[in-house]
Amino acid sequence: MAGILLHPTSLPGPGMQGTLGMDALRFIEFLHAAGIKVWQMLPLGQPHMDGSPYQCMSVHAGNIQLICPRTLHQWGWIGEPTDFGGRYRNPFDCELLKQAHAGFLAHASEGDRAGFEAFVHDNAHWLEDYVLYLAFKGEHGGAPWWDWPAERRDRDAAVLRKAVKRLASTLQQHRFEQYVFYRQWADLKRQANALDIQLFGDMPIFVAHDSSDVWAHRHLFDLDATGHPNIVTGVPPDYFSDTGQRWGNPHYDWQAMEADGFAWWRERLRGQLEFNDLIRIDHFRGFESSWAIPSHEPTAVNGWWVPAPGEALFGSLYEDLGHLPLVAEDLGIITPEVEALRDRFHLPGMKILQFAFEGGAKNPYLPHNHIANCVVYTGTHDNDTTLGWFRSCEPALQQHVLDYLGEPREEMPWPLVREAFASVAQLAVVPMQDVLALDGEHRMNTPGTCDDNWRWRFHWDMVSPDLPAQLRHLVETYGR
The DSSP bridge pattern shows strands 198-204 and 231-235 to be unpaired
Mean pLDDT by 10 residues, the chain (480 residues): 98 92 97 98 94 95 94 94 57 84 96 98 98 96 97 98 98 98 98 98 97 98 97 87 90 97 97 96 96 95 96 96 95 92 97 97 97 98 97 98 97 98 98 98 89 94 98 98
Question: In angstroms, rounded to a whole number, what is the distance separating the alpha carbons of residues 351 and 420?
Answer: 9
Question: In angstroms, rounded to a whole number, what is the distance separating the alpha carbons of residues 266 and 184?
Answer: 25
Asked whether 300 and 246 are in contact (CB, 8 A), the reply is: yes
Question: In angstroms, rounded to a whole number, what is the distance separating the alpha carbons of residues 361 and 268?
Answer: 40
Q: For residue 205, give every residue at least 6 positions away whose Cβ sits within 8 Å of its Cβ, in sequence order, or none.
A: 281, 282, 283, 284, 286, 287, 290
Catalytic residue annotation = 282, 329, 382
pTM for the model stands at 0.96
Q: Is cis: bond before 413, omega within 30 of 0?
A: yes
pLDDT number for residue 411: 97
Question: In angstroms, rounded to a whole number, what is the distance separating the alpha carbons of residues 350 and 327?
Answer: 8
Question: In angstroms, rounded to a whole number, what is the distance separating the alpha carbons of residues 341 and 205?
Answer: 15
Asked whether 309 and 254 are in contact (CB, 8 A), the reply is: yes
Question: In angstroms, rounded to a whole number, what is the distance separating the alpha carbons of residues 163 and 158?
Answer: 9
Asked whether 66 and 74 are in contact (CB, 8 A), the reply is: no
Question: In angstroms, rounded to a whole number, what is the distance separating the alpha carbons of residues 204 and 397?
Answer: 33
pLDDT number for residue 397: 98
State the DSSP string of 460-471.
GGGS-TTHHHHH
Alpha-carbon torsion 282, 229, 208, 298, what sign? negative
pLDDT number for residue 416: 98
Asked whether 370 and 428 are in contact (CB, 8 A), the reply is: no
Question: In angstroms, rounded to a whole number, what is the distance separating the alpha carbons of residues 433 and 384?
Answer: 10
Asked whether 84 and 13 are in contact (CB, 8 A), the reply is: yes
Note the pLDDT tens digit of each residue in 238-253: 776 888 889 999 999 9
Residues making up the chain, counted from first to last: 480
pLDDT number for residue 129: 98
